[in-house]
């Protein structure tokens, strides 16, 4: 007979939304069970954010080493070219993933959360069955937190397979393709495509829209475009992928540009990165009778679904589909179940793209602020004028910090940056906006010298009309 678990809280999905929710539930003394079909950590930790950042790190290291061959650079000269072994890089990446995966398992255990490994299939809103390696487990819960995340979206005419990868396969390869065509110049395509280029593949981008990285505004993306140009990496814009063709002349991706012209881009492999969609199929969501919001599960500002006691968080409930949003919602829902008064109402959620150079967006761009009816003042400060950046070879990529504030009371509405290492500045950007900082608060906070963070008060001063170092 199937084991029966009766639990106060059932969390479905062990990604950064679900596992954080479960840990917080456990901390709050709620009897909690989490179900995960794959490995704890979810897409982010197992086949997304973390492994991609590990490979991007390796790619950067290899590219930097190559610059020291021959004449040398910075007084460092390598007598021979470094060799690259993608298998070795992937093995190292797996050690990082394994460490974090077992860390999550340990945190859940410490919070006294029971982790069940298998796929939950719901019969109704509060009851599911999980087929585990040791047999079926039936789970009945008072509260359910749905955190099933998202799955890759594909192109029907370009099905995933040996030669057509999704981001998942791109993170598992042991051999570098000579020629890689990347379809979709969004977050994933640009991050992984640039990493493969730095590791040594010949990369070509194909993007349906008329520019790359449309999530960020044009001035911000310029240094990334410049990097592509400098490295001779073409981006075919306003161009759609049609399908893979193989003939006597080899394998190629057929693409069609906006005017209907077709051409073939020779390739060994294709990486398709055209977005993700919420994971709503295959686990009985339809049995739960929840109200939907397009492809997403509809929730209110407490992540409550239309069914009493059933919550949904993360990628399942809409944009932005970012791990840190999922975690914040998970923590909040746990506290709501424990009786706290909480609401999900962030002023801004920062987004980072780990391209060359990196991009950060937090809050409103000048154009978005104007579109919302604000009169704005904008200040910008280049990393080329920042000592720490120059001392790290990070000031020459055209990067800058831009701060957007209301003209009347100087409250900061948005902070954006492009440049090497700027991802690490994103926390301060979010803090300033969340705390309702004014330009004077940012400018008046003494920032450590020499650090890249000094560019933020300088940008605030620039908006006020008197930057010191520019």
Return the residue matching tokens 């000592």.
Answer: 387
The one catalytic residue among 231, 340, 449, 469:
449
CB of 15 to ligand NAI, least distance (A): 12
Which region among 125-133, 183-191, 388-396, 410-418 touches ligand NAI (by CB under 6 A)?
A: 183-191
Choose the binding region for ligand NAI from 24-32, 59-67, 347-355, 436-444 (rule: CB under 6 A). 347-355
Q: Residue 111 is encoded by which pair of tokens? A: 């919070």
Interface with ligand NAI in residues 348-367 (CB under 6 A): 351-354
CB 8 within 8 A of CB 32: yes
Shortest distance, position 325 Cβ to ligand NAI, whole Å: 9
Nearer of residues 206 and 221 to ligand NAI, judged by Cβ: 206
231 annotated active-site: no
Vertex 325 angle, CA 324 and 331, to 5°:
90
Q: Are strands 179-183 and 202-206 parallel, antiparallel or unpaired?
A: parallel
Closest to ligand NAI by CB, 11 or 185: 185
Please say which residue, 19 or 381, places its beta carbon nearer to ligand NAI: 19
Cα distance between residue 325 and residue 319, in whole Å: 9
Contacts of ligand NAI in 202-261 (CB under 6 A):
206-209, 214, 240-241
Question: Longest C-alpha distance within the chain, in Å?
Answer: 75
For position 418 contacting ligand NAI by CB under 6 A, the verdict is no
Assess 137 for contact with ligand NAI (CB under 6 A).
no
Question: Hey, what are 96's tokens?
Answer: 């990082």
Does 24 engage in binding with ligand NAI (CB under 6 A)?
Answer: no
Concatenate the DSSP letters of all residues of 275-335 into one string: -EEE--SSSSGGGGTPPEETTEEP--TT-B-SSTTEEE-GGGG-SS--HHHHHHHHHHHHH
* Minimum distance of ligand NAI from residue 315's CB (angstroms): 8
Q: Which is nearer to ligand NAI, 360 or 439 (CB)?
A: 360
**CA–centroid distance for 437 within its chain:** 26
Among 107, 121, 155, 349, binds ligand NAI (CB under 6 A): 155
Residue position matching structure tokens 């939907």: 292
Among 25, 183, 204, 461, binds ligand NAI (CB under 6 A): 183
| Residue 127 CA to its chain's centroid (Å) | 32
Q: What are phi and psi of 458, to 5 degrees?
A: -65, -40
- Candidates 219, 275, 309, 450: give the one binding ligand NAI (CB under 6 A): 275
Q: Which residues contact 192 (CB under 8 A, 6 or more apart)?
A: 52, 55, 167, 170, 171, 182, 271, 273
Q: Which of residues 293-332 bind ligand NAI (CB under 6 A)?
A: 320-322
Report the interface residues with ligand NAI, using CB under 6 A.
155, 183-189, 191, 206-209, 214, 240-241, 273-276, 320-322, 351-354
Q: Catalytic residues, which ones?
A: 449
């Amino acid at each position: 007979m199937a084991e029966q678990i009766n639990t106060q809280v059932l969390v479905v999905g062990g990604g950064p939304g679900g596992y954080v929710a479960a840990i917080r539930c456990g901390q709050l003394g709620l009897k909690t069970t989490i179900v995960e079909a794959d490995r704890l950590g979810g897409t982010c930790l197992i086949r997304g954010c973390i492994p991609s950042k590990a490979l991007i790190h390796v790619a950067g290291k290899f590219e930097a080493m190559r610059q020291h061959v021959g004449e040398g650079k910075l007084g460092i000269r390598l007598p021979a070219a470094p060799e690259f072994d993608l298998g070795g890089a992937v093995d190292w990446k797996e050690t990082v993933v394994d460490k974090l995966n077992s860390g999550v398992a340990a945190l859940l255990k410490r919070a006294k959360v029971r982790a069940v490994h298998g796929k939950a299939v719901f019969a109704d809103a509060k009851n599911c069955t999980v087929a585990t390696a040791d047999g079926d487990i039936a789970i009945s819960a008072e509260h359910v937190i749905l955190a099933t995340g998202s799955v890759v979206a594909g192109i029907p005419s370009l099905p995933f397979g040996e030669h057509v990868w999704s981001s998942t396969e791109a993170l598992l390869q042991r051999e570098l393709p000579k020629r890689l065509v990347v379809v979709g110049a969004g977050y994933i395509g640009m991050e992984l495509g640039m990493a493969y280029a730095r590791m040594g593949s010949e990369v070509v981008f194909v993007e349906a829209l008329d520019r790359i990285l449309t999530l960020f505004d044009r001035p911000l993306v310029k240094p990334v475009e410049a990097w592509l140009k400098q490295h001779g990496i073409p981006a075919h814009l306003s161009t759609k992928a049609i399908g893979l063709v193989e003939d006597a002349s080899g394998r190629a991706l057929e693409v069609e540009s906006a005017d209907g012209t077709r051409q073939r881009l020779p390739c060994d492999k294709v990486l398709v990165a055209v977005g993700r969609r919420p994971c709503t199929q295959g686990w009985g969501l339809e049995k739960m009778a929840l109200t939907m919001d397009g492809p997403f599960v509809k929730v209110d500002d407490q992540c409550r679904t239309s069914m009493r006691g059933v919550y949904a968080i993360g990628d399942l409930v809409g944009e932005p589909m970012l791990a840190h949003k999922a975690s914040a919602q998970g923590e909040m829902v746990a506290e709501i179940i424990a009786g706290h008064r909480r609401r999900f109402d962030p002023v801004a959620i920062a987004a980072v793209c780990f391209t060359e150079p990196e991009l950060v967006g937090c809050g409103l761009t000048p154009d978005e602020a104007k579109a919302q009816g604000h009169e704005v003042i904008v200040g910008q400060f280049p990393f080329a004028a920042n000592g720490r950046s120059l001392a790290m070879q990070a000031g020459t990529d055209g990067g800058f910090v831009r701060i957007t504030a209301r003209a009347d009371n100087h409250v900061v509405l948005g902070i954006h940056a492009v440049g090497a290492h700027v991802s690490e500045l994103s926390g301060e950007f979010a803090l300033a906006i969340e705390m309702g900082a004014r330009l004077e608060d940012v400018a008046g906070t003494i920032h450590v010298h020499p650090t890249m963070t000094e560019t933020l008060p300088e940008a605030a001063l620039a908006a006020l009309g008197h930057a010191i170092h520019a």
